[in-house]
Amino acid sequence: MSTADFSGERQAFQDAYSDTLAFLEARVATTTISLNDLEGELHHLTIYEGQDWDGRGPLKSAEIEGQISAYITVIDAMKNQNS
């Protein structure tokens, strides 16, 4: 896929996903954060996502979706590691 194929929303999603994933992986590696902690943060992030106020716009929504996807990726990895 070329760069021209990326919409603004897609780029916002990718940036938020990459940044959040790097942040969460560093937290997991350097702190004693638990799976419960991350699931709680994800829960609150999904509540925030659901509070779609008028004026948020598609870019902010894409950013939040990227953050949620990163949380899910890290949580799934932690669950697989504990299995």
- Domain containing 35 equals 8-82
Residue 2 lies in a domain: no
For the whole prediction, is pTM greater than 0.85? yes
pLDDT, one tens digit per residue, over 4-46 is 456 899 999 999 999 999 999 999 999 999 999 999 999 999 9
Residue 20 lies in a domain: yes
| CB-neighbour burial class of residue 41 (10 A; exposed 0-12, middle 13-18, buried 19+) | middle
**Which residues have C-beta within 8 Å of that of residue 6, sequence separation ≥ 6?**
14
Residue 78 lies in a domain: yes
Residue 3 lies in a domain: no
Residue 74 lies in a domain: yes
Residue found under tokens 């590696």: 29
Tokens of 75: 């949580």
Residue 1 lies in a domain: no
pLDDT, one tens digit per residue, over 46-76 is 998 888 666 778 888 899 999 999 999 999 9
Number of domains composing the chain: 1
Rounded distance, CA 10 to CA 68, Å? 14
